[in-house]
Structure 1
Amino acid sequence: MAKAKDTKSDSGAITAYSVKTKTKNVPMVDPVIDVKSGRYIATGKDADGNKMAAIMSKATAEEHIKNGNAKKGTGWS
């Protein structure tokens, strides 16, 4: 059984854990990826408007931006 990644679903959208609803792989709406202290952090909201965040690798962040799943935020060089 293959393990699913927390920051990527089959549709290509960025997903994360929702602390408020305690559910995994919730798709983010309009995610923005910032670079803070060398970490790539996607921030956005779920369909209900709850704030979410996901930390990912540089390669994953660049792939999401290239595919149009997210926008670049602050900290990119």
Structure 2
Amino acid sequence: MAAQAAGITAYSVKTKTKNVPMINPVIDVKSGRYIATGTDADGNKMAAIMGKATAEGHIASGAAKKGSGW
């Protein structure tokens, strides 16, 4: 679950591959955790947990949108 400058990447459980780019990620805050949810290129659901600074950086750069809990 790494974050790149171009956007958010995550592990795809369905395809068992790492660093898959997330399409249209939305970052929610649940129980104090920042969780990015989105889909991969094939439409499979993905999620990535990150810190506050990383989440705010992705939102500021326009790579992700704010969800609920902010």
Bin the TM-score by the shorter chain.
over 0.9
TM-score scaled by length of structure 1:
0.88
Aligned to 2:28: 34
Structure 1: tracts of 5 or more residues without a match: 1-5
**Alignment match of 2:52 (pick from 36, 55, 58):** 58
The code of the aligned residue for 2:2 comes to: T
2:10 corresponds to 1:8:
no
For the residue of structure 2 that corresponds to 1:14, the secondary structure is: strand
Structure 2: tracts of 5 or more residues without a match: none
User: 1:16 & 1:54 partners in 2: Cα distance?
Assistant: 6
Number of aligned residue pairs: 70
Structure showing the higher strand proportion among its residues = 2
**Runs (4+) off by over 2 Å:** none
Shift in Å, 1:8? 1.2
CA radius of gyration, larger in = 1
What percentage of residue pairs aligned between the two structures are identical? 77
